[in-house]
């Protein structure tokens, strides 16, 4: 069976002290997992929290973003090399908040995917449509374009390291979850697109996570769908009980 993953995207939340406490509680409550558990805290805590996760089976460290250039005069930015050097194994790329508030377009995201892979880390590439696109039933094509422009330049070997996260924008932080059928339909269409480009074997191995108001109550139903391979969790990743319950819902 392909890899199942629950990833917690903390976004811009928690102080260092709170982050340490949350990590401690999560590690204590998640004794086993039917897959990988990924924690994506803010940059300044990566090293400390990464050290806390070391030696705990299932746990992996992720960054929420990286810069697309290797290094240089980019004041305030963080490179993929830096992230790898503090123990990151994954980088979230193309989150809708990055696309919306920081104008990150697919060509920049493709470059971020490249630097991430070049440093031996795995991109968690986010895609997803806004409400007005879903309202006119154009969501499949919209998401397809994000994947084609952001990922499909990769060769097969590199693509095998990619994780895709489908996060419908209208479901993020709104309490409005996609129904498990809506999630399954989109994940199936994403997998078909990957299969067309890279073949069925690669498509069958690609983890596709769902994100958007996924919580302790709805995770089992979402994860029970055949093409939903776990979740990228925002709000519910900030509470150890909820996050642990979501991990426990992995099939």
**Which chain residues interact with ligand 13P by CB under 6 A?**
9, 95, 167, 172-173, 211-214, 232-236
Question: Quick one: 167 or 198, whose CB is closer to ligand 13P?
Answer: 167
Closest residue to ligand 13P in the complex (CB): 234
**Comparison of 170 and 198: residue with beta carbon closer to ligand 13P:** 170
Q: Which residues are marked as active site?
A: 95, 167
CB-based contact 89:122 (threshold 8 Å): yes
Nearest approach in angstroms of CB 240 to ligand 13P is 15
Least separation, in Å, of the C-beta of 172 and ligand 13P?
A: 4
CB of 156 to ligand 13P, least distance (A): 27
| Complex with ligand 13P: residue 50 or 211, whichever CB lies closer | 211
């Amino acid at each position: 069976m392909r890899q199942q993953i629950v990833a917690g995207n903390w976004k811009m939340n928690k102080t260092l002290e709170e982050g340490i406490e949350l990590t401690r509680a999560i590690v204590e409550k998640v004794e086993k997992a039917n897959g990988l558990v990924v924690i994506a805290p803010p940059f300044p805590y990566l090293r400390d929290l990464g050290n806390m996760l070391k030696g705990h089976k299932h746990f992996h460290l992720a960054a929420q973003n990286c810069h697309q250039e290797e290094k240089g005069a980019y004041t305030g930015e963080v490179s993929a090399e830096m992230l790898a050097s503090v123990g990151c194994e994954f980088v979230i790329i193309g989150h809708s908040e990055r696309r919306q508030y920081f104008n990150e377009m697919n060509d920049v995201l493709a470059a971020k995917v490249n630097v991430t892979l070049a440093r031996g880390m795995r991109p968690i590439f986010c895609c997803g449509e806004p409400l007005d696109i879903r309202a006119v039933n154009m969501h499949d094509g919209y998401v397809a374009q994000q994947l084609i422009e952001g990922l499909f330049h990769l060769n097969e070997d590199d693509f095998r390291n990619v994780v895709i996260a489908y996060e419908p924008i209208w479901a993020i932080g709104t309490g409005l979850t996609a129904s498990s059928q809506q999630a399954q339909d989109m994940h199936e269409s994403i997998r078909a697109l990957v299969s067309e480009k890279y073949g069925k074997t690669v498509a069958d191995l690609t983890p596709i996570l769902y994100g958007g108001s996924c919580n302790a109550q709805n995770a089992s139903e979402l994860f029970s769908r055949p093409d939903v391979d776990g979740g990228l969790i925002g709000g519910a990743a900030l509470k150890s009980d909820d996050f642990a319950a979501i991990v426990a819902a992995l099939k």
